[in-house]
């Protein structure tokens, strides 16, 4: 048990930006390294955010094609911290990345994030509508909770539909 504790302690060492090895591996999208790092980690350990306010889960979500990586993290940890900068969640990050698969993976375990608002009052659907081009992302979010379409942001009261119309993506 002392060896396992020593390995866990080593895995939790941070750099000057407060990144652990898991933050870095998630940022590179390296599934095999993440899998190896998680092998010895305690499922109850709450990985904290780095200096940019990004958790490993948030970092993984902002990468396109991160579904497998997100599944690994969600399956390992009992409580996955999903926060990011400006009050955003991993679901916001996946919507900004335009990754419908990541959205499906996140919503499977964290379905309550669809109405989460960031500091500007924007939901993940706002970002999906604003960035446009990926209707599958909008569709996945609306399938989970259509009422998110009626939430206005804090600045102008813009709903996701109004944002999409303004971007000519409606």
Structural domain count of the chain:
1
Token digits of residue 50: 């780095």
Closest CA to 61 of 34, 26, 108, 87: 26
pLDDT at 133: 62
The pLDDT assigned to 161 comes to: 85
Nearest Cα to 73, choosing from 111, 7, 25?
25
Domain that residue 68 falls in: 2-166
**Of 93, 98, 161, 170, which Cα lies nearest the Cα of 134?**
98
How confident is residue 54, by pLDDT bands cut at 50, 70 and 90?
very high
**Is a pLDDT exceeding 90 seen at residue 46?**
no
């Amino acid at each position: 048990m002392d060896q396992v504790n020593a390995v866990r302690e080593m895995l939790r060492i941070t750099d000057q930006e407060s990144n652990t090895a898991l933050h870095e591996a998630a940022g590179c999208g390296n599934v095999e390294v993440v899998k190896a790092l998680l092998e010895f980690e305690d499922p109850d350990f709450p990985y904290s955010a780095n200096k940019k306010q990004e958790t490993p889960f948030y970092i993984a979500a902002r990468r396109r094609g991160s579904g497998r990586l997100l599944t690994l993290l969600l399956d390992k940890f009992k409580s996955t911290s999903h926060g990011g900068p400006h009050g955003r969640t991993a679901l916001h990050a996946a919507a900004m990345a335009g990754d419908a698969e990541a959205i499906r993976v996140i919503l499977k375990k964290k379905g309550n994030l669809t109405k989460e608002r960031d500091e500007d009052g924007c939901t993940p659907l706002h970002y999906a509508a604003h960035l446009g081009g990926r209707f599958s992302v909008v569709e996945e979010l609306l399938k989970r909770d259509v009422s998110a379409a009626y939430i206005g942001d804090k600045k102008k009261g813009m709903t996701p539909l109004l944002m999409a119309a303004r971007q000519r993506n409606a």
